[in-house]
Amino acid sequence: MTDAAQWTAAPEGPPNAVAGAPRPGDVRGGRFHARAVTPARLAPPPTSSLGLAGYSGPGPALWISSCHGGAGASTLAALIPFGRSTGRYWPAPDPPGQAPVILVARTHAAGLRAAQAAAGQWAAGVLPNVRLLGLVAIADAPGKLPKPLKDLLRLISGGVPQVWELPWVEALRLGDPPEQVRLPSAYARLAQDLNRIISEDAHA
């Protein structure tokens, strides 16, 4: 199985926002209305999976869904100009259409199990309007990931299109505004990859 770390490779260079892509505040014309995802035979129990958050009108170029509380989706939304956090929900567009989504989880055991449940929910086929781009795994502590957690992340990587691993950033823990923090290069690579994927979709 491919090591999840190999997914992070990307060309060097500053990330660029997608030209003309909607910004986080650009979702208009409807309210969010949350509900549980209808479980399928292979889906995990609703208590361990994400619900649906419906919206009407145009959505952003990217939805950022938390697998659990404190995953870091709102931080990523502050850093990615064409993304918007959905909280612990999958986006459900109205009218139906393909909604590009990344999942976000911390790399502690509970966070990875939540990511595994969300990935299983997507794989069960109960989210026809979601285009899952991958999972962003954000370090929950400084240093290397312990082997049991690294093995679990590698297992999860086989069930999602892509995995990006982001290192621990002490300044974010201390509450510094994300846009003012000097971030490791892995954050720039994530932005580059997402920018490329969404740009390719726009020209497909």
Quick: pLDDT tens for 108-160.
999 999 999 999 999 998 888 899 999 999 999 999 999 999 999 999 999 99
CA distance 191 to 32: 26
Residue 38 within any structural domain of the chain:
no
Residue 69 within any structural domain of the chain:
yes
Give the residue numbers spanning the domain of 181.
46-202
Residue 9 within any structural domain of the chain:
no
Residue 156 within any structural domain of the chain:
yes
State the pLDDT at residue 12: 32
Q: What is the CATH number of the domain that holds 70?
A: 3.40.50
State the pLDDT at residue 29: 32
Task: Tally DSSP H helices, then E strands, for the chain.
Answer: 5, 8
State the pLDDT at residue 92: 85
> Tens digits of per-residue pLDDT, 36-83?
443 333 333 333 458 777 666 678 999 999 999 999 999 999 999 999
Provide the domain count of the chain: 1
> Tens digits of per-residue pLDDT, 1-39?
333 222 222 223 333 333 333 333 333 333 333 444 433
The pTM assigned to this predicted structure is 0.76
Q: Indicate the DSSP class of residue 24.
A: G
State the pLDDT at residue 24: 35
- Does residue 12 or residue 92 have the better pLDDT? 92
Residue 13 within any structural domain of the chain:
no
Residues 6 or more apart whose CB falls under 8 angstroms from that of 36 comprise 46, 51, 52
Residue 36 within any structural domain of the chain:
no
CA distance 117 to 96: 24
Residue 86 has pLDDT above 50, yes or no: yes
State the pLDDT at residue 53: 73
State residue 96 phi and psi, 5-degree precision: -55, 145
State the pLDDT at residue 49: 59
Query: What average pLDDT is seen over the chain?
Result: 78
